[in-house]
Amino acid sequence: MRFSNLTQRIAGDGAAAWDIHYRALRMLEQGRDVLLLSVGDPDFDTPAPIVQAAIDSLQTGNTHYADVRGKRSLRESIARRHQQRSGQAVSADQVTVLAGAQCALFCVAQCVLNPGDEVLVAEPMYVTYEAVFGACGATVIPVPVRPEQGFRVRAEDVAARITPRTRALALNSPHNPSGASLPRSTWEALAELCVAHDLWMISDEVYSELLYEGEHISPGSLPGMAERTATLNSLSKSHAMTGWRVGWVVGSPALAAHLENLALCMLYGSPEFIQDAAVVALEQPLPELEAMREAYRQRRDLVCASLADCPGVRALKPDGGMFVMVDIRETGLSAQAFADRLLDLHGVSVLAGEAFGPSAAGHIRLGLVLAAEPLREACRRIARCAAELMEAQAHA
């Protein structure tokens, strides 16, 4: 049987990037000693008040259709939180609730991009970006972001790639995989480019509450940007709610209306009991959130300190997020070959930098998703793997 061309556009390297993670899961099922650092799924439980709110909502009978755009109470909570954190004045009518930031990205792409449009994306990029934009027939134009630049995009590099076909700029800060964040001066320069060339800004801010150094800037708050910015966010990382699938888009009322139409024919709304829990997540003071954030910061520092003097590897300290990029180029292996060896011989699962784009070649990405002692053990194994390779080079 024949399939549509879409099936080719959503396959490829982005989907294949997860092969090592799935292999590690199979090894765990077989009872192997594997430390899983290849996926950004928090190891913390969702805070109990959020879980209880979902249970209470279920027991109240909130199991029917909900507002397709999202319950107004949740959209109001999202609008308030976004305004508090960004300074951008928004209302509930500018918010669309969707099934996670991944779904939000897909929906925004469908609503602002046409076949043949070009979208500029900082590369390395999150592994699903190319498939998401390809699904609507758009072409991703990578903007290489080098480790020597701290994996931070430069406005002049973006400007050099703008053509008459350019329709949007898609960025996330803090960045996945590197954890780099952009300073205000860069955001202001990028905003000027968007206004001058009439571009959409797709701003993925899912790690904005896990920023340890610097100031988070939401580009929608900058002059001339509110109408042309789609801000994506979720509760997945900040609240340890990956499996709840709660995300949203903040944009113009016109964009929100188009997103509602798309949700109408695709999702038909998110479960009401999950939305009720999300309101509690956003409105109730939860000390667990700061505890999780501090734990990620401490884990980042632990990894950087543990690998600081290890031959063949160099950890790049991120500004935020829940990952650390490690430069393994001195070992002589590609990142994929190093990741395979690390899993097969040392029982540590990481993602190869090439999965995110050629600018991350020679780097591995490890998730800060284990407690201190297993994370320290993972670093010992990474160092051992690199030392073996360096010794083999010395005797070659």
User: What would the mean pLDDT of 12-21 be, rounded to a whole number?
Assistant: 73
Rounded alpha-carbon distances, angstroms, from residue 280 to 19, 53, 239, 274, 277? 36, 7, 11, 10, 5
Per the CB < 8 A criterion, the answer to whether 367 and 39 are in contact is yes
Whether the pLDDT of residue 83 is over 70: the answer is yes
Collect all residues with Cβ–Cβ distance below 8 Å to 136 and sequence separation of at least 6.
109, 110, 113, 114, 115
Q: Work out the percent of the chain whose per-residue pLDDT is above 70.
A: 98
Q: Phi and psi of 327, rounded to 5°?
A: -80, 120
What pLDDT sits at residue 9? 86
Domain boundaries, the chain: 6-45+287-394, 49-283
What pLDDT sits at residue 252? 97
What pLDDT sits at residue 12? 64
Q: Encode pLDDT of 225-276 as tens digits.
A: 999 999 999 999 999 999 999 999 999 999 999 999 999 999 999 999 999 9
Q: Which CATH fold topology does 6-45+287-394 show? A: Aspartate Aminotransferase, domain 1 (3.90.1150)
> Chain-wide mean pLDDT for the chain?
95
CATH for 49-283? Answer: 3.40.640.10
What pLDDT sits at residue 127? 84
**Bridge partners of 326?**
315, 364
What pLDDT sits at residue 324? 97
Closest CA relative to residue 362, chosen from 390, 380, 393, 337: 337
Q: Which residue has the higher pLDDT, 16 or 171?
A: 171
Q: How many CB atoms lie within 10 A of CB 310?
A: 18
Q: Encode pLDDT of 275-284 as tens digits.
A: 999 999 999 9
Q: Encode pLDDT of 352-388 as tens digits.
A: 999 899 999 999 999 999 999 999 999 999 999 999 9
Rounded alpha-carbon distances, angstroms, from residue 96 to 74, 93, 230? 10, 8, 11
pTM, to two decimals: 0.94
Per the CB < 8 A criterion, the answer to whether 369 and 42 are in contact is yes
* Shared fold status for 6-45+287-394 and 49-283: no
